[in-house]
């Protein structure tokens, strides 16, 4: 079972930017890659650090604490020290709103 959760307006995340949102107190990072919106867990899988404090590097986000990069489409950790991928969440965009397809219950996050 999954649920569709409205998290932001498309205007809130212009192309080339990212926005942290919370679902049930869990951070989720939205990124607009030139019109394609991606959603990944908002905290690093290496140690606890908010990824919106990092920076976008092409199709990846770089954690500002130890500089691991993560692929925004797959969540894969591209550089050490992080090894565990970020969770990714399916995104739906409709009528200017961004929604995430999430499982029922706690939002899954990798640590
Ligand atoms: S906390 Fe993100 S790379 Fe270490």
Q: What is the pLDDT of residues 61-108, one digit of tens each?
A: 999 999 999 999 999 999 999 999 999 999 999 999 999 999 999 999
Q: Is 29 in the pocket of ligand 1 (CB under 6 A)?
A: no
pLDDT (average), residues 53-67? 96
Residue nearest to atom 4 of ligand 1 (CA): 66
Percent of the chain with pLDDT over 90: 97
- Kindly give the distance from the C-alpha atom of residue 83 to the centroid of ligand 1, in angstroms, as a whole number: 10
pLDDT at 106: 94
Question: Looking at domain 2-103, which of 2.40.160.100, 2.102.10.10, 3.30.450.40, 2.40.50.140 is its CATH number?
Answer: 2.102.10.10
Residue nearest to atom 1 of ligand 1 (CA): 47
pLDDT at 1: 85
Q: Can you say whether residue 73 is alpha, beta or left, with left for phi > 0 and alpha for psi between -120 and 50 degrees?
A: alpha
Q: Which residue, 21, 73, 24, 80, is CA-closest to 52? A: 21
Using the atom order of ligand 1, give the atom closest to the CA of residue 67: 3
Residue nearest to atom 3 of ligand 1 (CA): 66
Q: Is 72 in the pocket of ligand 1 (CB under 6 A)?
A: no
CA 68 and chain centroid, separation: 15
């Amino acid at each position: 079972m999954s649920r569709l959760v409205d998290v932001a307006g498309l205007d809130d995340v212009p192309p080339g930017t990212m926005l942290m949102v919370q679902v049930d107190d869990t951070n989720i990072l939205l990124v607009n890659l030139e019109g394609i919106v991606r959603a990944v867990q908002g905290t690093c899988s290496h140690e606890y650090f908010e990824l919106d404090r990092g920076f976008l590097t092409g199709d990846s986000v770089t954690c500002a604490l130890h500089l691991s990069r993560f692929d925004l489409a797959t969540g894969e950790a591209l550089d050490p020290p992080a090894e565990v991928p970020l969770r990714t969440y399916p995104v739906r965009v409709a009528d200017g709103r961004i929604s995430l397809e999430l499982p029922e219950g706690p939002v899954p996050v990798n640590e």
